[in-house]
Structure formats: C-alpha cells, structure tokens
Amino acid sequence: MTSRRAPWTAASLLIIITALISHSLTCPPAEYLIDDKCCTMCPPGNRVKTHCRAHIRTSCVSCSEDTYMDKPTGRRQCHRCADCAGPGLKVRSSCTETSDTVCEPMEGFDCTDFKGKSCATTQKHRSCKPGQYIQEKGTADTECSDCSDGTFSDGTLTSCQPHRQCEAENLQLIKAGTPSDDAQCGETTNVALTVGVSIPVVFLCGGLLAGAFILYKRTHHPGQNQSEEDHP
C-alpha cells in the first residue's frame, strides 16, 4: 500500500512545486508577465497589439482617438479620455495619447470631487444679490455683504467697486450711482459759451446776406439805381 501511493505523492508534489514556481515568477520593471513569460511593455501612448512569443518581441500600436496611456503597459486597450460633460465642468487641458483630459469647474461652481489633478463633480455656489459682494466663496454657504455708500456690485464681484466721479473726469453726472449700478456720466454742456459763440455767428451771417442782396440789386438793376440817385 505504501509503495503504490509513493509515486502519486511525488507527482502531486511536483505539480504543486511547479505551480508555486510559476506563480512566484516576477518580471523586471519594464516587462510584464503573460503565459509564464516576461514580455517588454509598450511605451506611454501605446498599447499591446500582440504579446511576445519565442524569439518575437511585443508588438505595440498607438492609442486611438479619445484614448490615452500615461505609462508603460502590457494592456491590450488604452484608457478612455474623460469628456468633462458633467454640470459645471469645462476642459482645462485636452486629452493626448499620453495624458487624460483635465477638467475644472466653471465660473460660479466649486469642485467637490477631485480625481488626481482633474475635477470630477461640481456644485454651484450661491450667488449674492445686486448691491452685495461675495465676502467668502463657497457652495451652499457663500457669505454676502452689503456695499457701502459710494460703491456698487451686481452680486458676482468679490468686492464692491467705487462709483465713477464724473467731475474728476470733466464730465456731467447723468445718473447717480446706486448700490447695484455705477454712476452714468456724459459730456459737459456750457450754456454761456454756447450763447457767446452763437450771437456773433448770427450777426455775421446776417451781414453777409445783406451785402449779397445789395450787390445783387446793383448788378441786375443798374438803371433803377441811377434813377434813384438822380431823384432823391
């Protein structure tokens, strides 16, 4: 009984040892294990087309459009690029063969979940009312404060802005500023200067017209002018 069971026991031990050796096989950092063989990895921006075989190296191919591989790999497929399609997201840098798309929050949104350097999800922060400024940005807890006298904000600014000083710009105040709107200025109209210039112009035009009329009479009715001189 003992002699019959010994060969089976030795065979079992051989199988176990072989399995342990195969599972404990490790490859150098630039290679990957496949079918008990170490194959050379494909460089970033590429994927494996065919695994290595005896005396044949790994075959690689570039990542297709909208996919990337950011490190050496033994994978048959590249990673799918992120599309920044979530609400409040926009593209900061586009996807390449060796790097994924980097997303960032739009204006008025805060990032609530980062994946590496890229923003994955956002939340819209509360806006302030016209006449207020954003004292501290946040999501649901944005702090707003009222503008002081002489300043204004439409509710999207982080500080109130001073009203325009029309006199300092040699302009006329058209509409006074409010906490939510800036002052409106226009060109200054000087009434005294306008009248002072207009009166001499009127007299000059009148004199020119009178002179032209007298010249016309003398040129086209000379006899009448002589008769008037003979008969006072």
Question: Splitting the chain (232 residues) into consecutive groups of 10 residues, what average pLDDT does each group show?
Answer: 52 57 75 93 98 94 97 97 93 97 90 92 84 76 87 90 94 94 84 59 73 70 53 49
**Residue 125 and residue 111 in contact, taking contact as beta carbons nearer than 8 Å:** no
Q: What is the number of domains present in the chain?
A: 3
| 218 in a structural domain | no
| 130 in a structural domain | yes
| 101 in a structural domain | yes
Q: Cα(22)–Cα(50) distance, rounded to whole angstroms?
A: 22
| 36 in a structural domain | yes
pLDDT of residue 107: 81
Query: 20-32: buried (b, 16+ CB within 10 Å) or exposed (e) per residue?
Result: eeeeeeeeeeebb
| 209 in a structural domain | no
Same domain for 73 and 41? Answer: yes
pLDDT of residue 75: 97
| 72 in a structural domain | yes
3-state secondary structure of 139: coil
Q: Which two tokens stand for residue 196?
A: 């002072």
- Confidence (pTM): 0.51
Angle at 97 between CA 93 and CA 103, to 5 degrees: 25
Distances from the Cα of 103 to the Cα of 66, 71, 188, angstroms: 15, 20, 50
Angle at 85 between CA 135 and CA 109, to 5 degrees: 5
3-state secondary structure of 214: helix
pLDDT of residue 197: 59
- Structural domain boundaries enclosing 113: 82-124
Which CATH number belongs to the domain containing residue 136 in this structure?
2.10.50.10
Phi, psi of 3, rounded to the nearest 5 degrees: -65, -35
| 99 in a structural domain | yes
Q: Cα(102)–Cα(90) distance, rounded to whole angstroms?
A: 9
Bridge partners, residue 136, by sequence:
143
Same domain for 64 and 93? Answer: no
Under 8 Å CB-to-CB from 160, ≥6 apart: which residues? 133, 147, 148, 151, 152, 153, 179
